[in-house]
Amino acid sequence: MRLWVSNSGVRVSGHLVRGFAVTIVGLGLTACDSIEKLDLFGTEKYKPEIVPEVPAEQLYSEGLNRLQNKSYESANKKFGDVDKQHPYSPLAKKALVMSAYANYERGDYDEAISSAKRFLTLHPADPDAAYAQYIMAMSYYSQVPDVTRDQERVEKAALALQELIDRYPSSEYVSDAKFRVTVVKDQLAAKEMDVGRYYLKRRNYTAAINRFRQVVARFQTTRHVEEALERLTECYLALGVVGEAQTAAAVLGHNFPDSEWYKDAYALLSKGGLEPREDEGSWISRAFKGLTKTVGIRN
């Protein structure tokens, strides 16, 4: 992503960078009379530090210049000074968004999330609210671990991305958010499958079913759903729940007739003299009826 400054303000490329037109004005300083005080022992004197008051426009402009130079920590400080010195300035809320972006770019994702959340709390209807939501979602997304580790950040990324899609459907960030939702959902499904296989190998069929069920119920559009249905066929057969095993295989064959997983499920049933047969009252059937209407799975 690139950011550059033109006569009309800041131009950007990429989703995460936003520009705000600025006007650079002169530096204004305020001075206070020196005050002398004694320390606790009455032996030394000191003068209070004179803190210059810099116009909001100048602080904001300096922050943008530091962003352009990729000095993200310094930029963040300048945007923070806008908020501290001029909390009621129109630039204060813009500085808060840019502070979130600066933190994102320097890899301080927790601070980026904090700034974005604060902006959304204070200015939920602002035109830049969608941008703040996007920064927050991407901060979670950038911390997504591999499938073998705890998936809390993945869940949070999925929620933040979905909230962006739901709350700001006309936003320029929605297209990218939709793509990333598919990525994080696929990873969440992969995690459920990984744990489900672990239980299946240890013949803890009930625990395994609970994991595969999550994939079928929550992540039907991912690549893992075919295997999940086949694994449900295995688990239900092992437990003697024949009807659910037949239904899992029937739904698998109905929606993915060319799947290798369906061939495996069919073979498992055939060994016991059974065949796929759907029970429309099963939770599996009900789950896939909703999906068929939504995304048009093959009938």
Q: Render pLDDT for 82-112 as a digit per residue (tens, 0 to 9).
A: 989 999 998 999 999 999 999 999 999 999 9
Q: What pTM did the predictor assign?
A: 0.73
pLDDT tens per residue, range 211-233: 999 999 999 889 999 999 999 99
pLDDT band at 150 (very low <50, low <70, confident <90, very high): confident
CA–CA distance, 73 with 134 (Å, rounded to integer): 20
User: Is the pLDDT score of 298 beyond 60?
Assistant: no
Sign of CA dihedral 131, 136, 142, 145: negative
Contact between 10 and 24 under an 8 Å Cβ cutoff? The reply is no
- pLDDT given for residue 61 in this prediction: 93
Half-sphere exposure of 235 (CA within 13 A, CB side): 26
Q: What's the average model confidence in pLDDT over 185-198?
A: 95
pLDDT(32) > 50: no
What span, in angstroms and rounded, lies between the C-alpha atoms of 128 and 173?
11
pLDDT (mean) for 114-136:
95
- pLDDT score of 54: 82
pLDDT above 90: percentage of residues in the chain: 70
246 and 255 Cβ atoms separated by less than 8 Å: no
Q: Which amino acid is at 198?
A: Y
Question: What element of type H or E holds 12?
Answer: strand 9-13
Q: Which helix (H) or strand (E) holds 3?
A: strand 2-6
Is residue 79 a contact partner of residue 98, using CB atoms and an 8 Å limit? yes
Q: Which of 43, 42, 77 is nearest to 63 (CA)?
A: 77
Identify which has the larger pLDDT, 183 or 3.
183
Q: Residue 295 — very low, low, confident or very high, per pLDDT cuts 50/70/90?
A: very low
Give residue 225's identity as a one-letter amino acid code. V
Tokens of 296: 């048009």
CB 171 within 8 A of CB 130: yes
Give DSSP secondary structure letters for 13-81.
Answer: ESSS--------------------EE-TTS--EE---------HHHHHHHHHHHHHTT-HHHHHHHHHH
If one compares 6 and 240, the residue with the highest pLDDT of the two is 240
